Amino acid sequence: MAQLSPRMQELLQPHLTGIEPYDPNFTPTPINLSANENTYPLPGAARDAISAALSVVPFNRYPDPMSNNLRDELARWHGVSRDAICVGNGGDELLYNFMLAFGGEGRTLLTFPPDFSEYAFFASLTGAEVKRVWRDSETFEIDADAAVQAAATSNLVILTSPNNPTGNLADLGLVERICDACPGLVMVDEAYGEFAPADASAVPLLATHDNLVILKTLSKAFGAAGIRCGYVLAPADVIEVFAAVRQIYSVNVLTQAVARAAVGAREAYAPVVEQIKAERTRLADALRAPAAPLADDSAAPALEAPVSVTVWPSEGNFVLVRVLPDASAVRRRLRDEYGILVRDFSYAPGLENCLRITVGTPSENDAVIAALAELTGEGR
């Protein structure tokens, strides 16, 4: 991580002196399964709709600040009204705006780590304090009573479902209890929601809980991480605040056009999502299966033995695996010898020796399965 210069340490706002520039640890590789992107080709109907929309974008004009055409399409999809939606430059911008508007000095955000590291980062940017109720170290489930108790004395809560990087869902009964207990706003981050069963979504709870905010993104199921488009669903008065604090033109005309066409063609994405879910099962099962020992004439140097692999169940488009004794070494060798990039979480508390592998196309997953069988087979 880059260090801030002594001059910057002095000039920065005091609460920011601990910040470090974000490092996605990216190296170009033939197979990139490190960022939970959707690596499948765009469905034909979506590609046609997007091409047609892009060909008529008036890019000499500033964008519609509130992306109203897109909001209307999203409103039709989710069965809510336009004023229950705010669009942002990726989910990240909306997470930041959530903290900007409702966090800050003297406020507390409750999170359930291991989870998405940006929550704590954005909280710290605004000076908000982060309160953590750690997930169970084996199952990554949340202790419901501890969560509800902590929510009662927090200004904000973020609950991720499915959770990144552990893959598990938030129980809807717990979401309701947390909404009832928390005096402030409760965000359920459903960035990966399309890969989970439809009845796991907290969207229906919007009708009965006026402090609930749901975050969604087009970066995952819609395979559109590059356009930067996310949105929140929330009560109208909450959306008014999101609208008031946002950078006016943060969602550009090209993004609005592509997103509207993609959401309009949403049915075309269903087979891709189903295939990713099926591949997730295939990948997890294959990684769980004991690897055959390598033939004696293998040229590859042996890993420190023994190697054991634990794979957690996942409802997202990724799987979390613990590779003992040295996941970082396995990640390096996957990258350098097999051209496969996955995310190493070894540095993160609670995720020692854990790698997160995005579910790719069948051939990408075959490559991961074969490479890991070879690497871990060496140590068995």
- Interface residues with ligand PMP (CB under 6 A) are 36, 90-92, 116, 160, 164, 189, 191, 217, 219, 225, 230
Q: In what order do the strands lie in the sheet with 212-217?
A: 85-88, 230-233, 212-217, 185-189, 156-160, 108-111, 129-132
Minimum Å gap between C-beta 102 and ligand PMP is 17
- CA-based nearest residue to 130, from 101, 154, 114, 148: 154
Taking CA atoms, 380 is separated from 52, 69, 205, 291, 294, in Å, by: 54, 57, 48, 8, 9
Minimum Å gap between C-beta 300 and ligand PMP is 32
Measured CA to CA, the distance from residue 197 to residue 315 in angstroms comes to 8
Nearer to ligand PMP, 191 or 307 (CB): 191
Minimum Å gap between C-beta 165 and ligand PMP is 8
Query: If 0-12 CB within 10 Å is exposed, 13-18 middle and 19+ buried, where does residue 141 land?
Result: middle
Q: In what order do the strands lie in the sheet with 308-311?
A: 308-311, 318-324, 354-358, 343-344
Minimum Å gap between C-beta 378 and ligand PMP is 32
Nearer to ligand PMP, 90 or 114 (CB): 90
Nearer to ligand PMP, 116 or 338 (CB): 116
In three-state secondary structure terms, 39 is: coil
- CA-based nearest residue to 380, from 301, 291, 311: 291
| Residues sharing a CB contact under 8 Å with residue 142, sequence separation 6 or more, in sequence order | 112, 133, 135, 136, 159, 170, 171, 174
Minimum Å gap between C-beta 219 and ligand PMP is 3
Nearer to ligand PMP, 97 or 376 (CB): 97
Minimum Å gap between C-beta 305 and ligand PMP is 34
Nearer to ligand PMP, 196 or 371 (CB): 196
Contact 183, 207 (CB under 8 A): no
Nearer to ligand PMP, 209 or 343 (CB): 343
Nearer to ligand PMP, 209 or 228 (CB): 228
Written as one letter, the residue type at 247 is: Q
In three-state secondary structure terms, 340 is: strand
Minimum Å gap between C-beta 350 and ligand PMP is 16
Measured CA to CA, the distance from residue 223 to residue 52 in angstroms comes to 18
Minimum Å gap between C-beta 316 and ligand PMP is 8
Nearer to ligand PMP, 189 or 364 (CB): 189
